[in-house]
Amino acid sequence: MVSVKNFCVVFGVLACVLAPSVSGAAAYCPSRCVCDDVKLHVTCGEGELDVLPIALNPAIERLVIKFNRIKAIDSSIQFYTDLTMLDLSYNHLLGLPKSIFRYQKRLLQLHLNNNKIASIGNKTFAGMDELRVLNLRGNFIEEMTKGLFRALPKLEELNLGENQIATLHPEAFEGLPYLRILHLDDNAINVIPTPSFTPLRLLAELYLGLNTLNQIQPGSFEGLQHLRRLDVRGSMLVNLTIDTFRGLENVRSLDISDNHLLKVPTVALSILTRLEELAIGQNDFEVIPEGAFFGLSNLRKLSISGALNLQRIQSGAFASNTNLDTIVIASNRLLEELDEGAFSGLPHIENVILRDNAFRTFREELLPWKQLRNFDISGNPLACNCHLRWMKDLLRDKPELETEQSQVICQYPERFAGEALREISSELLGCHQRQSKERAVVGVVLVASAASLTTFILVAYRLRHRLVDVLGPNWHNKRNTLKEEKDLEFVKSFPEIEYHQPNFNIYTCNYQQMYQQKPPCPAQFQHHIYETPIPVSDL
C-alpha–C-alpha distance, residues 351 and 372, integer Å: 6
C-alpha–C-alpha distance, residues 409 and 388, integer Å: 12
C-alpha pair distances (Å), 378 with each of 51, 354, 405: 53, 7, 8
Residue extent(s) of CATH 3.80.10.10 domains in the chain: 93-256, 261-377
DSSP 527: S
The mean pLDDT value for 397-422 works out to 88
Cβ–Cβ under 8 Å, residues 166 and 142: yes
Cβ–Cβ under 8 Å, residues 98 and 123: yes
Cβ–Cβ under 8 Å, residues 368 and 396: no
Residue 488 has pLDDT above 60, yes or no: no
Beta bridge partners of residue 231, listed in sequence order: 207, 255
Quickly list DSSP for 43-68: EE-SS---S--SSS-TT-SEEEE-SS
List CB contacts of 196: < 8 A, sequence separation 6 or more.
168, 169, 170, 171, 172, 173, 220
**Residue 413: cis peptide before it, omega within 30 degrees of 0:** yes
C-alpha pair distances (Å), 46 with each of 50, 77, 88: 12, 20, 12
List CB contacts of 434: < 8 A, sequence separation 6 or more.
386
469: part of which helix (H) or strand (E)? helix 464-471
pTM, to two decimals: 0.75
Cβ–Cβ under 8 Å, residues 212 and 189: yes
Nearest to 63 by CA among 32, 87, 45, 39: 87
C-alpha–C-alpha distance, residues 244 and 90, integer Å: 37
C-alpha–C-alpha distance, residues 530 and 174, integer Å: 124
The mean pLDDT value for 357-381 works out to 93
pLDDT above 90: percentage of residues in the chain: 63
C-alpha–C-alpha distance, residues 85 and 60, integer Å: 10
Classify residue 513 as left (phi > 0), alpha (psi -120 to 50) or beta. Answer: alpha
Of the ranges 149-163, 388-402, 426-440, which one carries the lowest mean pLDDT score? 426-440
Tell me the per-residue pLDDT of 298-334, one tens digit each, with 9 for 90 and over. Answer: 999 999 999 999 999 999 999 999 999 999 999 999 9
Residue 102 identity:
R
The mean pLDDT value for 105-111 works out to 97
Residues in the chain: 539
383: part of which helix (H) or strand (E)? strand 382-383
Cβ–Cβ under 8 Å, residues 199 and 176: yes
Residue 441 has pLDDT above 90, yes or no: no
HSE (CB half, 13 Å, CA atoms) of 166? 2
The rounded mean pLDDT for the chain is 84
What would the 3-class secondary structure string for 479-500 be? HHHHHHHHHHHHHCCCCCCCCC
How many angstroms from the chain centroid is the CA of residue 192? Answer: 28
SS3 content of the chain, % helix, strand, coil (to 5): 25, 15, 65
Helix crossing, 464-471 with 473-491: angle to 10°? 90
| pLDDT at site 46 | 87
Residue 259 identity:
N
| pLDDT at site 7 | 40
Kindly tell me the burial class for residue 29, based on how many C-beta atoms sit within 10 Å of its own C-beta (0-12, 13-18, 19 or more): middle
CATH of domain 261-377: 3.80.10.10
Q: Compute the C-alpha angle 384/324/202, nearest 5°.
A: 140
| pLDDT at site 410 | 93
What would the 3-class secondary structure string for 408-443 be? CEEEECHHHCCCEHHHCCCCCCCHHHHHHHHHHHHH
CATH of domain 93-256: 3.80.10.10
Residue 229 identity:
R
Q: Compute the C-alpha angle 532/535/539, nearest 5°.
A: 120
Residue 435 has pLDDT above 70, yes or no: no
Tell me the per-residue pLDDT of 43-71, one tens digit each, with 9 for 90 and over. Answer: 998 888 999 998 899 999 999 999 999 99
Residue 371 has pLDDT above 50, yes or no: yes
Q: Compute the C-alpha angle 43/46/52, nearest 5°.
A: 60
Residue 22 has pLDDT above 60, yes or no: no
Residue 534 has pLDDT above 80, yes or no: no
